[in-house]
Structure 1
Amino acid sequence: MDEFNIFKYWLTQVSFLTEKDCSLFEPFLKTKRLKTKDHFLSAGKVCQQIGFVNKGCFRTYYIADGKEINTHFTFENEFVTDYDSFLQSKPSRYFIQTLEDTEIVTFNLPALQDAYNQSQNWERFGRMIAEQSYKMTTQRVESFLFLDGEQRYLDLLKNQPHIFDRIPLYHIASYLGLERESLSRLRKKIAGK
């Protein structure tokens, strides 16, 4: 049960959930291992699960005019899901794909709702996930509204430098709304300062 222990440890350290809350939820957890380039979710399908990433990383993207546009990267100790699709049981517009071999602990909506009914702490936890999802979406939208490509790059470098160690540059360029060549020029320019 080692893979569950990572999740349980994170839950009790990062949130207000108790050992009792966790044991109530444990029967609903499943471990999933995915290989590099496997899809956790495909556009048009309903997102049935939330996954807690024990190991590995994911990218979330959509396709526009034949191009893959990255919108998010997910790493260890984060949740991978299309939260809107998950909550409303509606088809997703996104693909979620592994960029490395990954291990996740998953749970579904009925399990989460059951936990909400049994514990106020789980309700608070659900609210925390919703708030994080909202914050992340707002930050992403506002970065495109109020920052240019260079500012988005500098913001990513400052707040999430680990991304550059694990994500290929062409994926980062797409995420920043830049062409790969533009990102390379930008990196050289900033490195030269």
Structure 2
Amino acid sequence: MPEYFQYHKAEPKDVEYLLHLLHRVHTVDAKLKEEFEKHLLKLRIKKDQVLFNENEVCEYIYLIVKGALMGCTTHNKQKITTYISVENDFVSSISGLHGSGYSQEYVVAVEDTELLAVHNNELNRLFEYHFNLNYIFRVILEKYYRDAQQRAYIIRVGNAKERYLYFAKTNPGYLDRLPLNLVASLLNVKASTLLSIKKSFLGLADRHKELEEWGKKIEIHIHKNQSFRHKDIRLQSLAKEVGLSSHKLSIVLNSYFNNSFIDYINQYRINWIKERIRHPDIIQNFTLEALAYSAGFSSRSAFYNAFKKRVGMSPIEYSKNLNK
């Protein structure tokens, strides 16, 4: 049995906190606000404390202000996590909602948790006289059932990786915050499997971060030194300039920029040429071929082929379109 909890009358800031959440769904009138000011309670429970047990009537509906709760049930003497709720989630008995019957699940604190509570007797009375409260809770329940349906679907048909991605997407940050064994129980996968998947994705994130850092370093170097204008630039020479091995530079260009070395260099050359074509005084004094050679192209054909591949038209057509 859960220990006796000491409920306290909620402070004005607590009422405002609740009203702010409810206002997102529907306007709360002055009379309903007064009711919450009279009947809203506050409760703090410690990690691992049971909020209510199986086969008990849950007398309140709760709003989590800070912390996390998990709903659990037992089957063949095995604990099964049915949901995990955190800040701004409403929590009560699912099977015995609004005190209508005995709860088939128990709820326990995953962290030290701060709650706001309304007794079901008061809430049921408010439902009779305040349409807006009925509407608000209908929307809240609709969201809960949509989330529950999606969770049930992914657990039934998704593999372990898909379940991990689902939880990471719908609960950003919680994989680092919540105990791994609880998340594993919720997703119906082994904790060791979930840990392995998590490590693999962390490795991918670290790799992407490293690629991004090197990508920015390469771009800064090319912009500053205009390396693309060197006709004899090669993968090996650029790698040496930026302090990477040729193999690592090739990986950054292919994986981060999604380009081969020559296409990556040519895009800088073409952008440099396009910028100069836009200036009438430059294009009047220099031919397109002269600009191409100055940009680093070694031949007219290489310039025309690269320009058309990237821009979708020849340099002459591009120049004429600008003049129009």
Measured in 2, the distance between the counterparts of 1:165 and 1:23 equals 40
Find 2:107's aligned residue among 96, 99, 113: 96
Measured in 1, the distance between the counterparts of 2:76 and 2:201 equals 31
Deviation at 1:53, TM superposition (A): 0.9
Partner of 2:213: none
- The 5-angstrom pairing of residues 53-68 of structure 1 reads 53-68=64-79
For residues 39-62 of structure 1, the C-alpha deviation after alignment (integer angstroms, 9 at most, x for no partner) is 111111122211011111111111
Task: Tell me: higher relative CO, structure 1 or 2? Use CA pairs within 8 A at least 6 residues apart.
Answer: 1
Partner of 1:130: 141
For residues 54-104 of structure 1, the C-alpha deviation after alignment (integer angstroms, 9 at most, x for no partner) is 111111111223332212111111111123312462211211111111111
Measured in 2, the distance between the counterparts of 1:9 and 1:191 equals 36
> Given residue 79 of structure 1, which amino acid in structure 2 is its aligned partner?
F
For residues 4-53 of structure 1, the C-alpha deviation after alignment (integer angstroms, 9 at most, x for no partner) is 332122222x2213251222333221111111111111111122211011
Q: Is the partner of 1:91 in helix, strand or coil?
A: coil
Confirm or deny: 8 A CA contact 1:51 1:106 kept in the other structure: yes
Measured in 2, the distance between the counterparts of 1:86 and 1:31 equals 20
Measured in 2, the distance between the counterparts of 1:17 and 1:52 equals 18
> Given residue 102 of structure 2, which amino acid in structure 1 is its aligned partner?
P
Measured in 2, the distance between the counterparts of 1:150 and 1:108 equals 41
Find 2:179's aligned residue among 150, 153, 168: 168
Moved more, 94-103 or 183-192: 183-192
Deviation at 1:192, TM superposition (A): 4.1
Partner of 2:188: 177
> Given residue 17 of structure 1, which amino acid in structure 2 is its aligned partner?
T
Measured in 2, the distance between the counterparts of 1:88 and 1:130 equals 16
Measured in 2, the distance between the counterparts of 1:74 and 1:59 equals 6
% of aligned pairs identical? 24
The unaligned stretches of length 5 or more in structure 1 are none
Partner of 1:17: 27
Partner of 1:37: 48
Partner of 1:190: 201
Moved more, 129-138 or 93-102: 129-138
Measured in 2, the distance between the counterparts of 1:87 and 1:19 equals 22
Q: How large is the Cα RMSD of the aligned pairs?
A: 1.8
Query: Normalized against structure 1, the TM-score is what?
Result: 0.90
- The 5-angstrom pairing of residues 70-109 of structure 1 reads 70-87=81-98, 89-109=100-120
Deviation at 1:147, TM superposition (A): 1.2
Deviation at 1:149, TM superposition (A): 1.7
| Structure showing the higher helix proportion among its residues | 2
Deviation at 1:131, TM superposition (A): 1.2
Q: Is the partner of 1:50 in helix, strand or coil?
A: strand
Query: Normalized against structure 2, the TM-score is what?
Result: 0.55
Moved more, 148-157 or 112-121: 112-121
Q: How many residues align?
A: 192
Deviation at 1:170, TM superposition (A): 1.1
Confirm or deny: 8 A CA contact 2:60 2:98 kept in the other structure: no
Measured in 1, the distance between the counterparts of 2:189 and 2:33 equals 42
Task: Tell which structure's C-alpha radius of gyration is larger.
Answer: 2
Confirm or deny: 8 A CA contact 1:83 1:133 kept in the other structure: no
Partner of 1:69: 80
Measured in 2, the distance between the counterparts of 1:140 and 1:79 equals 17
Confirm or deny: 8 A CA contact 1:17 1:122 kept in the other structure: no
Deviation at 1:176, TM superposition (A): 1.1
